[in-house]
Structure 1
Amino acid sequence: MNFRKFFKSFSYASKGVIHAIKSEQNFRVHLLAGVVVLLAALATGLSKLEWIIIVILICGMFVIELVNASIERVVDIASPDFHELARQAKDLAAGACLVYAICTVIVGLIIFIPKWWGILY
């Protein structure tokens, strides 16, 4: 195993995440939402399992956004002119982000509403 190549791969991956933060509006929106959710979680007092679920959901959203951005870039290279299948590929990748985002909101509400209900009433 070449440790130099192994550690260099972390540098490449970090560049990808930094590029996404700088260039992808939706990634920044999800980053902000993740921070807000983490602050709400700190204020709410979640169980260990609830924390695990929240962290997996937040990180999963980042992963989906990075994959979506990658698909968009590859499609743009492969099909610089308009092509219906290229549009569909990009729409499908964006659709995956939307489905996952809706899922995270639903799970978040299932976790947070009972706790907030107990605090408010």
Structure 2
Amino acid sequence: MRKKQSLLISVKSAFEGIYYCATHERNMKIHIGAGLTAGFFSWWFALDKYEILILLVTIVGVLVAEMINTVVETLVDMISPERHPLAKIAKDVAAGAVLITATFSLVVGYMLFFSKL
């Protein structure tokens, strides 16, 4: 049985994973940029705390979905470096999950910001 690592090492590893995604994954960079832009507009339009909370939950959902997609793609590449129909399905489904959350975030953004324009 594997010895458990300290909490500090676990948190450091988690930050390394976040850093990896933010610096190596093109789509993660796009999502971070979109989230920062939405954050700016939430300040600009003076959204109330509940609107900001909805926006933050939505942004975090997209970022987490993108990170899970990165995990799936990395594991599939490691397990099946050659092209395989099942590997394609796993990657496509993970990418589809990101697409759904990103599309939902656009709907949330529209609902929060359109009336303020």
Name the TM tier (shorter chain).
over 0.9
Write out aligned runs for 1:88-107 (5 A).
Answer: 88-107=89-108
Deviation at residue 85 of structure 1 after TM alignment: 0.5
* C-alpha distance in structure 1 between counterparts of 2:113 and 2:8, whole Å: 39
TM-score, scaled to structure 2? 0.94
Give the aligned partner of residue 16 of structure 2: 15
Give the aligned partner of residue 45 of structure 1: 46
Give the aligned partner of residue 25 of structure 1: 26
Please list the CA deviations of residues 77-116 of structure 1 after superposition, one character each: whole Å capped at 9, or x if unmatched: 1111110010110010000000110000001101111111
Aligned residues with identical type, % of pairs: 34
Unmatched tracts of structure 2, length 5 or more: none
Give the aligned partner of residue 67 of structure 2: 66
Q: Which amino acid aligns with 1:100?
A: T
What RMSD over aligned residues (CA atoms) do the two structures have, in Å?
Answer: 0.9
- Give runs of ≥4 in structure 1 deviating > 2 Å: none
SS in 1 for 2:6: helix
Deviation at residue 7 of structure 1 after TM alignment: 1.6
Deviation at residue 8 of structure 1 after TM alignment: 1.2
Please list the CA deviations of residues 47-81 of structure 1 after superposition, one character each: whole Å capped at 9, or x if unmatched: 11101000111111110000000000000111111
* Alignment length (residue pairs): 113
Specify which structure has the higher proportion of helix: 1
Unmatched tracts of structure 1, length 5 or more: 117-121
